[in-house]
Structure 1
Amino acid sequence: MKRKIQKLGSSTLAVTLPAEWAREQDLQKGDELVVQRDESSGSLLVVPDTPAETEATATIDAASLDSESVQRAILAQYVLGRQLIEVESDGPIQPAVFDAITEIERQLMGLGVVEEGIDTVAIRCSVDPGDFELPTLMDRLWRTEATMRSEAVESLLEADDDLAERAIDRQRQVEKLFYLFLRLVFTTYRNPRLNESVGLETGFPLIGYRSVAQDVVLMAGAARELAEVVIDTDDFALDEETREHLTAAATALDDVATATRNAVTTPTATATTAGREALATLEACADRAQEHLETARPEPILALQRVLLTLRRSAGHAEDSLDVATHFAFRSAHAVETKDF
């Protein structure tokens, strides 16, 4: 929608607020708004100083949804920051729906059933944005993915099914941290006053951080696929030369992940350059490994090809995060200056 700028007094410019939005937010004359400026684009975010409390509760109609859809609906409302989620039906809730609620309760941090009846279930989330800082939560997400990837690579090199299973089981923790991260991102975006409580100076890096967190989850998915190669392949074993090539590629991927993490945490031109150099090293290692596979044709060749592609894909997700870090670096350091001549 468009709004025309009006002039109040000799130097003050003003715009009116959409009436429907003002009613939804229960805004009255004299209420305060928070206006936040994006340092890079100049756009403005306008939100109420105190967001409407009605957003804290959501109701899900279980009568019109199957058990999987109920799970997805609960997850969506959790991410959106709802404090109370009520699952209701016009008749008895089916056992499969109760089971789905129990399962999603275990998957999401701070979520718990507080009331259960024949036709209704009330679920409350005890997570408060002030309990976590996004940089700290991101660090936990990185460390969990790194542990999962390390276990997956070791299971590959040692042909250890038990270690592969352990890596796969760790993905649940990665997802739990990710959904909590999304919840805090959406909650903070709607209420910029929470920026300081979650460890940010402004709310505009939130979308970038969300993108980085998604890349970490995708890297965890790649680690899971590495572990699945070990489990799915009978008599999986590596000859010494193949082992050396894959070890070099996996080590290079570790360096890429570490450099990317450093660049996101401390976004500078130097840090992002180090990340690009680590990516180039990984690419060279992967190329040499690919050449070895094509020349020596070690067995199991198809499984090994899948491993190499998965390592490259994981590096691609890290590269996407590095792009975000590069954007952060340009914003914070003003690496590019423009002058009028």
Structure 2
Amino acid sequence: MNTDYVRVKRKVQQLGSSTLAVTVPAEWARHHDIEKGDEVIVQRDENGGSLLLVPEEPNVDDTDAVVNAETLSPEALGRAVVTQYVLGRQLVRIESETPLTPEHHDAVFDAERQLMGLGIVEQATQTVTVRCSVAPGDFDLPTLLGRLSRTEATIRTEAITALVEGDADRARTAARRYEQVEKLFYLFLRLVFATFRNPRLNQEVGLDTGFPLIGYRSVAQDVSLMAGLARDIADIVVESDGTVPDDDTADHLRALGGAIDDAVSATIAAVTTPDYDAAETARDRFDAVDDHVDACNDHLADERPEPLLELQRAVVLLERCAQHARDSLAVATHLAFRASPDLVDSE
């Protein structure tokens, strides 16, 4: 489809005493099969005041894709499948003029395990076809963001418990949960992209308008990064010699973990149910996080408990978790101001 009309000028015409009209580009109308008498949706962007014109049934005709695996490494093929999934493809066909290697097939199998709703429907020497059964209406973004955050919190809590108890098996279990975070995160990206392309999906994915999409995307990324840091704490335990910190040190770490849990939970609530007071409550929770970080660092500096190096690394990782959560709080604050127009009067 030609996109020369992405930015065009149109003259406003008077149709009646109180009616103004603007024509739409003919190619745009043809692409969406719009004819005289059809209805379209005019949606206002409440943030900037602009209008978005959306067909009653948007014509999204690129739901299938073909990946040429001939020159792709197995790792690159896996990334290509993930990308097509995020872009909203329903059917992805992997083709090669020469037989696919076992490593290429394994890369597709790994992607299948990594992506929710993706399944291999056909497999041959030179081709593999995968289909995604997930539809936007199957999930809503606020609920999915909550699931993502709770999974991250579980990894962090289990990793801290494994650290203070010297439990390597528990740490391995916590680290394996990261696969679920990845699965939820990629599904989240798929829904965000689909809704961005088709604004009529806003209500299906639990949003009144598309305004929060970019913010939600940012928060999901923060949660994913936090999960990676929590997995790093679990890896510290797996790689350690099993030395268990003393009770006082364990109490400091648990208190810090609990403070981060409270701050993150309050932040996600402020994002999914935008409210200025909720954002301020979350901000207060981070004051407690700062206090516990200082207490942990002071304790480690003064008492130098064993295993000191591992404990110091864990506290640094928890600080970084808190920083990502603070980034999400900034998003919550933006959404709160939008949801509370009485706080700001624009002239």
TM above 0.5: yes
1:85 offset after TM fit, Å?
A: 0.4
AA in 2 matched with 1:4:
K
Partner of 1:267: 274
CA distance in 2, matches of 1:309, 1:15: 58
Tell me which of 14, 22, 30 is aligned to 1:14.
22
Unaligned residue ranges in structure 1 (runs of 5+)? none
2: CA distance between counterparts of 1:78 and 1:128?
Answer: 12
Output the amino acid matched with 2:182.
E
Aligned to 1:83: 90
Structure 1 CA distance, aligned partners of 2:217 and 2:10?
Answer: 34
Alignment partner, residue 8 of structure 2: 3
C-alpha spacing 1:35/1:65, structure 2 compared with 1 (3 Å): farther
Distance 1:339 1:67, change over 3 A: closer
- The answer to whether the 8 Å contact 1:134/1:181 transfers is yes
> Residues 269 and 26 of structure 1: is their aligned pair in 2 closer, same or farther, counting only changes over 3 Å?
closer
CA distance in 2, matches of 1:282, 1:48: 48
Larger displacement relative to structure 2 (33-42 or 282-291): 33-42
* Residue 57 (structure 2) aligns with: 50
- What letter is aligned with 1:3? V
The equivalences for 1:297-312 within 5 A come to 297-312=304-319
Q: Is the 8 A contact 2:262 2:285 kept in 1?
A: yes
Tell whether 2:159 aligns with 1:152.
yes
- Alpha-carbon distance in structure 2 between the residues aligned to 1:43 and 1:284: 45
Residue of 184, 197, 207 corresponding to 1:190: 197
Is the deviation greater in 204-213 or in 33-42? 33-42
Q: Is 1:121–2:125 an aligned residue pair?
A: no
CA RMSD of aligned residues (A): 2.0
Cα distance change of structure 1 residues 266 and 14 upon mapping to structure 2, 3 Å threshold: same
Deviation at 1:52, TM superposition (A): 2.8
Please point out which of 13, 29, 45 is paired with 1:38. Answer: 45
CA distance in 2, matches of 1:117, 1:183: 27
Tell me the secondary structure at the aligned position of residue 196 of structure 1. coil
C-alpha distance in 1 between matches for 2:43 and 2:243: 56
Which has the larger displacement, 244-253 or 154-163? 244-253
1:201 aligned onto 2:201:
no
Distance 1:62 1:15, change over 3 A: same
Identify unmatched segments of 5+ residues in structure 2. 1-5
Listed one character per residue, the Cα deviations across residues 148-201 of structure 1 (whole Å, up to 9, x for unaligned) are 111111111111111100100100011111111111111122112222222221
C-alpha deviation, 1:17, in angstroms: 3.4
Corresponding residue number in structure 1 for 2:144: 137
Report the CA distance shift for 1:63/1:22 in structure 2 as closer, same or farther (over 3 A). farther
Give the fraction of aligned pairs with identical amino acids, expressed as a percent. Answer: 50
- Contact 1:56-1:81 within 8 A present in 2 as well: yes
Separation in structure 2 between the aligned mates of residue 12 and residue 295 of structure 1, nearest angstrom? 74
TM-superposition CA deviations, 1:276-314 (whole Å, max 9, x none): 111111011101211222222222222111111111111
CA deviations 1:81-124 (Å, max 9, x no partner) are 11000101122222211111111111111111111222211111
- Please tell me whether residue 313 in structure 1 is matched to residue 320 in structure 2: yes
CA–CA distance in structure 2, aligned partners of residues 100 and 219 of structure 1: 26
- 1:336 aligns with one of 311, 322, 343: 343
Amino acid aligned to 2:205: V
Which piece of structure 1 moves more, 5-14 or 55-64?
5-14
Please state whether the residue corresponding to 1:124 is helix, strand or coil: strand
Aligned counterparts of 2:32 and 2:9: Cα–Cα separation in 1 = 23
- What residue in structure 2 maps to residue 281 of structure 1? 288
Q: Verify the 8 A CA contact 2:68 2:94 in the aligned structure 1.
A: yes
Q: Deviations over 1:24-74 (max 9, x none)?
A: x45454465444332122244444433334211011000021111111111
Say which SS state the counterpart of residue 248 (structure 1) adopts: helix
Q: Return the alpha-carbon distance in structure 1 between the equivalents of residues 132 and 74 of structure 2.
A: 20
Say if 2:60 is the partner of 1:66.
Answer: no
Asked if the contact 1:3–1:16 (Cα under 8 Å) also holds between the matched residues in 2, the reply is: no
**Equivalent residue for 2:259?**
252
Deviations 1:227-271, CA, capped at 9 Å, x for gaps: 111112213311233222222211111111121122113221111
Tell me the amino acid that sits aligned with residue 71 of structure 2: S
Correspondent of 1:165 among 155, 172, 180: 172
Paired residues in the alignment total 338
- What pairs up with 1:209-228 in 2 under 5 angstroms? 209-228=216-235
Q: Distance in 1 between matches of 2:186 and 2:298?
A: 40
